[in-house]
Chain A
Amino acid sequence: MALLETIHLKKTYTIGKNIQTDALRGVSLQIAEGEFLAIAGPSGSGKSSLLNLIGALDTPTAGTVLLDNQNISEINSQELAAFRLHHIGFIFQAYNLINTLTAVENVEYIMLLQGVNRRTRESKSEAILERVGLADYINRFPQEMSGGQQQRIAVARAMAAEPRVILADEPTANLDSKTAQDLLDLMAELNREKGVTFVFSTHDQLIMERAHRLITLKDGVITS
């Protein structure tokens, strides 16, 4: 059974009164638990749009998104926040972190919203920071870290909250290839060790090679 499923998912953006863009034109996709999946495709093909819908950041124009057979398109916007909090992890292209919080505070943030007690938060965040190789950076603020380090913190933050799926929209786009390679190694290992499902959108050849499955979008439809 699929962890995640999209059925005839459509997304149309309306700019102004009458300019409409069909970003997604019927995407049906199944993602199994533990997958390491990459979505590729040219710029403007709808990758980000798809991730946003899967992650309940946005609502579809038509079609449904199911997580564990629960239709998340039917959830209202207030409950969506709670849904994201407990089920979805996000890693964005850049500037992912809360600038006013230190590395460890960033990692603890979601757990804090989840109501995880302090002891657990501390031990988990320490362990995960150790795991991503940033044990020495726990009290740094985001501006005091490199882009690669920041992305690792973002991965750690997503991991620590134990979501069902981590959605990463071009996580390596702002990194040099060596750093990107390291980050990818990290995510691949976490996927293997903990069985966390990862879904990427990417232009990065590296990610496409490492992905267990590659989906290509073009003009809002899956072409392969």
Chain B
Amino acid sequence: MLTFIKIALRNIFRNTKRSLITISAIGFGLGALIFIWSFVEGAHKQMIQNYTSYLTSHVLIHQKGYHEKSTLETYLQSPGPLLSTLKQDPRIAATSPRVRADGLLSSSESSAGVLIYGVDPDQEKNVSRLSQRVKPGAFLKPDSDKDIVIGASLAKNLNVGLGDKVVIMSQALDGSIAAGAFHILGLLDTGVEEIDKGVVLLPLKATQSLFVMDDGISEIAVRLKTASQAKPIAHDLARNLPSAKLEILPWQDVSPMMEQWIEFDNAFIWIIVIVVMIVVAIGILNTVLMGVLERTREFGILLALGTNHKQIIAMVAWESLFLGLVGSLAGLIIGSSSSLYFSTAGIDLSLFTSAMNSFYMDAFIYPVLHPGYVAVSVILVLGTSMIVSIYPAWHAAHLKPVDAIRSI
């Protein structure tokens, strides 16, 4: 065995140029794979972060049936005890009670359908980034009761600005007309069109009285300490919270669109994986096969001396394995170091970013090196390099010694 390893190694060194080409094909292929995977992972993380930092949050708690039919009537009465139970949960970072209703926002010139969020200014600050995205103007204050924050695009469409008066109209819980006038305190500029075009924020108290719902709320937005735990924690809460009338959804279930998009993206990566593996496969097949064909006579001699098929295959396989290992190591270094470098430096996508904003992406993407994906990449590339060497190895082993020796 040692002799075959020795022969394999020496063959690698015998044709350094060809070996280097193979190694770099593997190295760049694997490096690219690792980097792309890190990039997409980073982008997804960012999308999720952005997505969960505005309206959805990590977990949303509603009255049962709200997800099916989001009406004002499906609301949580006297949520006080529930809120204090949640506050004691060590996995929960913050909660924010909200009223959520459809309505009509009118300026003196025109009007538009909007989604009204009644929020408690202080609590909302701990759950979402909405308060940080008010520009120009200011976020709601605890003592606001005639103030409103509206989406920036919405303001543009209605041709209103800071300090202007707008009127909200909707139907209250008891069926009466809910109407109120508010002054624009700030404009919401999140970059997410969905929000900027159609959301208005009102103080919670004012909203509750507008809709005649006492201390009732539509939802509780829950921010977790560990974002990735949304699903298990939501399920756990659903099982353990006393009231059976709750509907507790992790962000993935609130809007399946985002999760589907990420899943689609992940599936798309496999196309890249396959392309890379094909490149690696061709690179290795080419060099190993060339190496074998060049050495036809030598294989003939080896066979004549009594070397058996398995031993010849082992010789060729060792050669590919070593090339694959060195190439993989190179790829690992290239892929990991570039991912790690950009994970702090970030990749500026501002050239393409305007289109991406609506996907909850920022101008800078910070790749995230995921050990699992790195391992899968290495295994796939190394596996490809081994599988591809089967044919040359088989070819070498099944040469007819007489013919092989005759060929020079």
Partner-B contacts on A (CB < 8 A): 52, 55, 57-58, 78, 81-86, 88, 90, 92, 95-101, 105, 109-110, 112-114, 157
Contact = CB atoms under 8 A, between A and B. Distances in A.
B305 A92 contact: no
A109 B401 contact: no
Contact of A99 (B14, B303, B311): B14
Nearest to B403: A58
Contact of A113 (B14, B297, B305): B305
B315 to A, nearest CB: 10
Contacts of A82: 306, 308
A95 B402 contact: no
A61 to B, nearest CB: 14
A98 B302 contact: yes
B7 interface: yes
18 contacts: A55-B304, A57-B401, A57-B405, A58-B400, A58-B401, A84-B306, A85-B306, A92-B405, A95-B408, A98-B298, A99-B14, A100-B6, A100-B7, A100-B11, A101-B7, A105-B3, A109-B305, A113-B306
Contacts of A52: 402
Given A52-B402, A95-B408, A100-B14, A110 B305 contact: yes
Interface in B1-41: 3, 6-7, 10-11, 14
Nearest to B2: A112
B309 interface: yes
Interface in B212-262: none
Given A57-B401, A113-B311, A90 B7 contact: no
B319 to A, nearest CB: 10
Interface residues of B, number: 23
A110 B311 CA distance: 13
B132 interface: no
Contacts of B408: 95
CB-CB nearest 9 A-B residue pairs: A85-B306, A100-B10, A84-B306, A81-B308, A58-B402, A57-B401, A57-B402, A100-B7, A90-B304
A81 B3 contact: no
B397 to A, nearest CB: 10
A96 to B, nearest CB: 6
Contacts of B7: 98, 100-101
Nearest to B405: A92
B301 interface: yes
Interface string B289-328: 0000000011001111111110100000000000000000
B304 A57 contact: yes
B301 A98 contact: yes
A56 to B, nearest CB: 9
A170 B14 CA distance: 29
Given A95-B408, A98-B298, A109-B3, A90 B305 contact: yes
Interface string B267-305: 000000000000000000000000000000110011111
Contacts of A99: 14, 298
Nearest to A167: B304
Nearest to B14: A100
A69 B402 CA distance: 24
Given A100-B10, A101-B7, A113 B304 contact: no
A157 B311 CA distance: 19
A81 B405 contact: no
A34 to B, nearest CB: 23
A52 B301 CA distance: 13
Contact of B304 (A84, A100, A105, A112): A84
Given A95-B408, A98-B302, A100-B10, A78 B297 contact: no
A117 to B, nearest CB: 13
Contact of B306 (A58, A97, A110): A110
Contacts of B303: 81
Given A95-B408, A98-B301, A112-B3, A81 B306 contact: yes
A109 to B, nearest CB: 7
A50 B96 CA distance: 95
A9 to B, nearest CB: 15
B301 A92 contact: yes
B309 A78 contact: yes
Contacts of A78: 308-309
Interface string B78-104: 000000000000000000000000000
Contacts of A83: 306
